[in-house]
Amino acid sequence: VAMAATRSVMRAVRVFEFGGPEVLKLQSDVLVPVPKENEVLIKVHACGVNPVETYIRSGTYARKPALPYTPGSDVAGVIESVGEHVTSFKKGDRVFTLETVSGGYAEYAVAAANRVFPLSVKLDFRQGAAIGVPYFTAYRALFQKGCAKAGEIVLVHGASGGVGLAACQIARACGLKVLGTAGTEEGMNVILKNGAHQAFNHRDPNYTERIKACTGPRGVDIIVEMLSNINLDADLQLLSCAGRVMVVGCRGRIEINPRDTMSKESSIIGVSLFLATEEERNECATAVLDGVEAGWLKPVVGSEYPLEKVAKAHEDIICSSGARGKMVLLL
């Protein structure tokens, strides 16, 4: 499907070398990509910013894209054109993505049609950009890897960010007792409005004692952990028998005593959405789209930045104290 010739270049963020936030270069003469077969071209209205994108940009992550590249996977926008064999979408459809081929920090992005989903009119584009990675990761952590069941107690450690709030909403909707931690009063309030039964301030030196008082001798069945390099040792003390820590985020090393896992036969399980099979991704998608329809899946948008301020966004997502929702770039 031919593109309108009037709009052959666009603004997009390009990374020519790995490094700090300053390597993110906004360029205004990037060619608009053309969708191949089974791909769609999306006019981007908003794009989510995820911590993993800062790790990839710095060059310290296991996955290194070929340079130069445009970061960004969670976009929300409108279908501009579709490649051959695409029947699921047409020009003008509102959509959100789980990943992109060409990169999401741009005015237009190409994505594989099977990584694109319809965006309900119940949600705006900012919220659409907050669904993909956070909700699919949270669902994978809780159910595909964590085997969560109704009635279990889940602790979401770092619950006020994108993945954390997604985990609170999903766990609450599925009948779990939800505890969450945040670093600010504001963060704790956001958690309580989004599914947590109780919130704890992880800057309070006695917060783990408060959690133990709340769960009683039973302990926590599942911990969804966003900062395992800080919390993993303490997490192991909070678990129930056969409890499990789902490692969703980590920024370094930590020392633990493996005996802590023996005394309760507990598990430490890594979570990577990147490793999900097609079937698992489809299961996540079904759960997420059902949640939007049912009305309990309501992404919370936090800080918003124009594309010009992308370096600031990358700085803030790592350094700012206390998240409150998903960080997005607006186009």
Q: What domains can be seen in the chain, in order of their start residue?
A: 9-130+300-330 (3.90.180.10), 134-274 (3.40.50.720)
The rounded mean pLDDT for the chain is: 95
The percentage of the chain sitting over the pLDDT mark of 70, rounded to a whole number, equals: 98
Q: How confident is the model at residue 245 (pLDDT cuts 50, 70, 90)?
A: very high
Tell me: the pLDDT tens digits for 23-62? 999 999 999 999 999 999 999 999 999 999 999 999 998 8
Confidence check: pLDDT of 208 > 80: yes
**Long-range contacts made by residues 53-56, C-beta under 8 angstroms, separation at least 24?**
53/314, 54/21, 54/314, 54/317, 54/318
Task: Taking residues 277-296, report their average pLDDT.
Answer: 97
The three-state DSSP-derived secondary structure of the chain is: CCCCHHHCEEEEEEECCCCCHHHEEEEEEEECCCCCCCEEEEEEEEEEECHHHHHHHHCCCCCCCCCCECCCCCEEEEEEEECCCCCCCCCCCEEEECCCCCCCCECEEEEEHHHEEECCCCCCHHHHCCCHHHHHHHHHHHHHHCCCCCCCEEEEECCCEHHHHHHHHHHHHCCCEEEEEECCHHHHHHHHHCCCCEEEECCCCCHHHHHHHHHHHHCEEEEEECCHHHHHHHHHHHEEEEEEEEECCCCCCCCCCCHHHHCCCCEEEECCHHHCCHHHHHHHHHHHHHHHHHCCCCCCEEEEEEHHHHHHHHHHHHHCCCCCEEEEEEC
Comparing 8-17, 133-142, 292-301, 315-324, the range with the smallest average pLDDT is 315-324
Tokens, residue 39: 């791909």
Confidence check: pLDDT of 7 > 80: no
Task: Taking residues 231-252, report their average pLDDT.
Answer: 97
Question: Which whole-number Å values give the CA distances from 13 to 8, 27, 41, 102, 124, in the listed order?
Answer: 16, 6, 17, 11, 23
Q: How confident is the model at residue 2 (pLDDT cuts 50, 70, 90)?
A: low
DSSP-assigned beta bridge partners for residue 325: 161
pLDDT at 319: 87
Task: Taking residues 63-92, report their average pLDDT.
Answer: 97
> Closest Cα to residue 96, out of 84, 79, 108, 82?
79
pLDDT at 156: 98
Give the C-alpha separation, 329 to 36, whole Å.
26
DSSP-assigned beta bridge partners for residue 118: 95
pLDDT at 324: 84
What phi, psi does 155 have (nearest 5°)? -110, 120
pLDDT at 3: 53
Task: Taking residues 81-110, report their average pLDDT.
Answer: 98
Confidence check: pLDDT of 4 > 70: no
Confidence check: pLDDT of 276 > 70: yes
Task: Taking residues 241-245, report their average pLDDT.
Answer: 98
Tokens, residue 108: 């237009």
Compute the CA torsion angle 326, 286, 173, 294 (nearest 10 deg): 90
